[in-house]
Structures are given as structure tokens and as C-alpha cells.
């Protein structure tokens, strides 16, 4: 069965088509103009989605060499995200589904990041610990099955990606700062300065990144007042990245250890980070299996929405959804 999916929760307009579990096309357009404002401007983001969505959808069908007559299920991100941006993709997909009489399902953005590690796979091995780490969220889950998740911890303030972006801004780097910090850190001295990793009393799996961010700010103010040109960018990026990654890895491994779980899935925009990938891969020598999405599926994309929709379609017992339109899907294709 072919699933057509749209993702438009933030500043990427994306459309994808999947053939069962396999991606046939995954078109992503990033709204680069937000760089001029140093962050996302929600109203401009939704207007840009409106301008481009039909072209992105057409490209996804052209690349997959399919037409609307081939599609069996339509999906779109239903949240969380920027409301104006969500509305564009969600309503486009719903209109597409209604006008072609195809069942429709709205998908949770975080849940789709969680499953993005397994895109292409028909079987997923449960249980696993999932770290979803993006620009908007940093959440640690215990995942025991489809629709069976427990939140073990989450950030108490900034998301890790948000901290990357804010620190990048302090350093005079463009938005989004995560990929730039990652690149600059590659040739930096990670031990140049020790930034603090936060521990939250009584909440071993919760994160906090605003302290690291503020300590970078104070460090810059104290040591390079008014003279940003003298900042040792590579060393500072490497030291900051070490602290953020250290906190993400240690809490995830501690959860895996305490719950006796060997499988770990790391996803979301920050899962593209090279240090994060390297540090988690080191844990495989202690018997952990670590899953990452392909890099193109780390940041926002419609393939993860389509894959999650198809997983739900296959694995949720008929009638277990309160979503009327999905029930129609079961009536039409069986389950």
C-alpha cells in the first residue's frame, strides 16, 4: 500500500510517499530566509508553506512515479509545532484525502521522530529506550510496544537543539546553529573550558540546558567583552558540545542500565550531531545496540510521518482509534 505524507510543523515543507515500509520519495524544502532574522518567524513560515506546498507535493509524486489514484493512506503532522505552519500541511493533506476519498490520519511529530530510526524496517524490536532530541523537545521514553510509551524524563527548560541555536547566536553564527557548532567543534579542543552538566535532584532522567547556555554567556562576557573576533570558536564549540552531549548520553545510558534494556534509539534534529553519534556508538562495546535515523531522517521530514502512519495502520487493532477517518481506513483495506 502507498502512503502519502506531509510534514509542515516548523520551517521545512516536506512531502513523501512510502511503499509499505519503504520510502519512494521524500522531498524537503528548508525555509532558509529565517537566517536573516536569527530564528523562525512563525507568520513568515506559514506563508512560505502556502506558497510552496503544491510544488513539493507534485515533486513527491513525480519522483515516486505515482498518481493520487495509487494512494491508500494519507497522513500529516497534527502537532506539536507552529500552529500556522501545521494548519497548512494538515489541511492540504486532509483536503487531498477527502477529495480523492482516501483515509486520513494525523500524526504526532514527536512520535514520528521516535520511529524515524527504523524507517524501512517492517519489524521493530521492543522494548527500547528512546531519546528524542530536537529543536523543540528533549524527551527520554521507555517504549514497550506500538502505542506503549512511558516518559522517563524531559528537559525542564531549553531543548538541546534550542541551546545549540542560542549559543550559536551568541557566537555570531547563523540559524540553525546546531550543524555549524558541530562542524566548528570537529577541530576544536573539547577540554578548552569545562561547562557544567546539570543534575536535577530527584529527577535522574530530566535534562536542563539553560544553565550550560548561561554559563557560555557569562564566560564570553567575562573573557571577551565587546570583542567577539577573539573568541576561539572551534574550542568553545567543542567544549559546549561536550557538555550537552555528555548529559544526553549519560542520562540515556543510566535509564537503559536501570531498566535493564539493551536497545537504544536516538532521533530528532540533534541526532545528526557527530559527537552524539560517536559517543553513543562507543556504548556498543558495552553490549548496547544503538539505532539512529539516516541523517536525512534526523531533521524534520515527511518520510517519518508516512512511516509512523503506516505502522499505526498495520499494528493498531481495528476500532482502537478514536479517529473516525482512520476507522474508515480499516473498513476499506482491512487490518
- Give 135 or 153: the residue with its C-beta nearer to Zn ion: 135
Starting at the edge strand found earlier in the chain, the sheet holding 289-291 runs: 148-154, 138-145, 128-133, 263-267, 289-291
Nearer to ligand KG4, 143 or 160 (CB): 160
Element (H, E) at 87: helix 83-99
Residue from the set 107, 270, 304, 309 that interacts with ligand KG4 by CB under 6 A: 270
Candidates 36-44, 66-74, 97-105, 131-139; binding stretch for Zn ion (CB under 5 A) = 131-139
Q: Given the complex with ligand KG4, which of 169 and 327 has the nearer CB atom?
A: 169
What torsion do the CA atoms of 67, 311, 207, 195 make, to the nearest 10 degrees? Answer: -50
Per-residue x/- mask for ligand KG4, residues 123 to 152, rule CB under 6 A? -----------xxx----------------
- 106 lies in the binding site for ligand KG4 (CB under 6 A): no
Tell me how many degrees the CA angle 61-271-179 measures, rounded to the nearest 5: 85
Q: Does 188 sit near ligand KG4 (CB under 6 A)?
A: no
Residue 7 binding Zn ion, by CB under 5 A: no
SS3 144: strand
Q: Which residue is nearest to ligand KG4 (CB)?
A: 269
Minimum CB separation of residue 136 from ligand KG4 in Å reads 4
CA gap 188, 174 in Å, rounded: 19
Nearest to 299 by CA among 70, 29, 35, 18: 29
Under the criterion CB under 6 A, does residue 182 sit at the interface with ligand KG4?
yes
Cα dist from 86 to 27, 83, 92, whole Å: 17, 5, 10
Q: Does 273 bind ligand KG4 (CB under 6 A)?
A: yes
Rounded to an integer, what distance in angstroms lies between the CA atom of residue 39 and that of residue 269?
15
Number of H helices, E strands in the chain: 10, 10
Task: Give me the half-sphere count of Cα atoms (radius 13 Å) on the Cβ side of residue 37.
Answer: 11
Strand order in the sheet with 2-7: 22-30, 12-19, 2-7, 71-79, 104-108
Q: Please, which of residues 209-238 interact with Zn ion by CB under 5 A? A: none
Q: Which of 103, 153, 268, 293 binds ligand KG4 (CB under 6 A)?
A: 268
Q: Exactly one of 73, 272, 290, 303 binds ligand KG4 (CB under 6 A); which one?
A: 272
Q: How far is the CB of 269 from ligand KG4 (least distance, A)?
A: 2
- Does the footprint of ligand KG4 cover residue 77 (CB under 6 A)? no
Shortest spacing between CB 300 and Zn ion, in angstroms = 4
Distance (Å, whole) CA 196 – CA 326: 47
Please identify, using beta-carbon distances, which residue of 133 and 329 lies nearer to Zn ion: 133
b/e burial code for range 21-39 (CB count within 10 A of at least 16 → b): bebbbbbbbebeebeeeee
Query: CB of 312 within 8 A of CB of 128?
Result: no
The alpha carbon torsion through 58, 295, 237, 213 (nearest 10 deg) reads: 70
| Closer residue to Zn ion in complex, CB, 239/308 | 308
Binder to ligand KG4 among 103, 153, 176, 188 (CB under 6 A)? 176
| Shorter beta-carbon distance to ligand KG4: residue 182 or 206 | 182
Residue (68 or 108) nearer to Zn ion, CB: 108
Q: Does 300 bind Zn ion (CB under 5 A)?
A: yes
Judged by beta carbon, residue 102 or residue 180, the one nearer ligand KG4 is: 180
Chain positions contacting ligand KG4, by CB under 6 A: 10, 134-136, 161, 164-165, 176-179, 182, 268-270, 272-273, 299-300
Q: Residue numbers of the site for Zn ion (CB under 5 A)?
A: 134, 300
Amino acid at each position: 500500500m502507498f502512503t502519502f505524507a506531509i510534514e509542515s510543523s516548523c520551517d521545512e515543507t516536506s512531502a513523501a510517499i512510502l511503499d509499505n515500509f519503504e520510502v519512494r520519495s521524500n522531498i524537503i524544502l528548508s525555509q532558509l530566509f529565517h537566517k536573516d532574522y536569527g530564528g523562525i518567524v512563525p507568520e513568515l513560515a506559514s506563508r512560505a508553506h502556502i506558497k510552496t506546498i503544491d510544488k513539493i507535493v507534485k515533486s513527491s509524486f513525480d519522483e515516486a512515479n505515482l498518481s493520487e489514484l495509487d494512494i491508500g493512506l494519507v497522513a500529516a503532522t497534527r502537532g506539536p509545532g507552529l500552529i500556522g505552519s501545521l494548519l497548512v500541511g494538515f489541511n492540504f493533506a486532509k483536503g487531498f484525502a477527502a477529495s480523492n476519498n482516501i483515509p486520513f490520519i494525523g500524526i504526532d511529530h514527536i512520535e514520528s521522530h521516535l520511529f524515524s530510526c527504523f524507517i524501512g524496517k517492517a519489524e521493530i524490536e521492543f522494548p527500547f529506550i528512546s531519546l528524542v532530541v530536537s529543536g523543540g523537545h528533549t524527551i527520554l521514553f521507555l517504549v514497550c510496544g506500538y502505542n506503549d510509551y512511558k516518559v522517563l524524563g524531559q528537559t525542564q527548560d531549553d531543548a538541546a537543539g534550542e541551546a545549540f541555536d542560542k549559543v550559536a547566536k551568541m557566537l555570531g553564527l547563523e540559524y540553525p546553529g546546531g550543524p555549524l557548532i558541530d562542524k566548528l567543534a570537529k577541530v576544536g579542543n573539547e577540554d578548552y573550558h569545562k561547562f557544567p552538566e546539570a543534575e536535577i535532584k530527584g529527577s535522574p532522567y530530566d535534562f536542563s540546558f539553560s544553565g550550560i547556555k548561561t554559563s557560555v554567556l557569562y564566560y564570553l562576557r567575562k573573557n571577551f567583552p565587546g570583542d567577539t573576533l577573539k573568541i576561539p570558536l572551534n574550542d568553545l564549540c567543542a567544549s559546549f558540545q561536550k557538555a550537552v552531549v555528555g548529559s544526553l548520553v549519560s542520562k540515556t545510558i543510566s535509564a537503559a542500565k536501570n531498566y535493564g534494556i539493551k536497545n537504544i534509539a536516538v532521533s530528532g534534529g540533534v541526532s545528526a550531531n557527530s559527537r552524539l553519534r560517536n559517543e553513543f556508538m562507543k556504548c556498543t562495546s558495552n553490549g548496547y545496540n544503538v539505532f539512529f535515523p539516516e541523517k536525512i531522517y534526523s531533521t524534520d521530514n515527511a518520510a517519518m510521518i508516512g512511516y509512523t502512519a503506516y505502522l499505526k495502520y498495520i499494528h493498531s487493532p481495528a476500532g482502537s482509534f478514536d479517529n473516525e477517518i482512520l476507522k474508515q481506513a480499516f473498513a476499506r483495506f482491512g487490518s
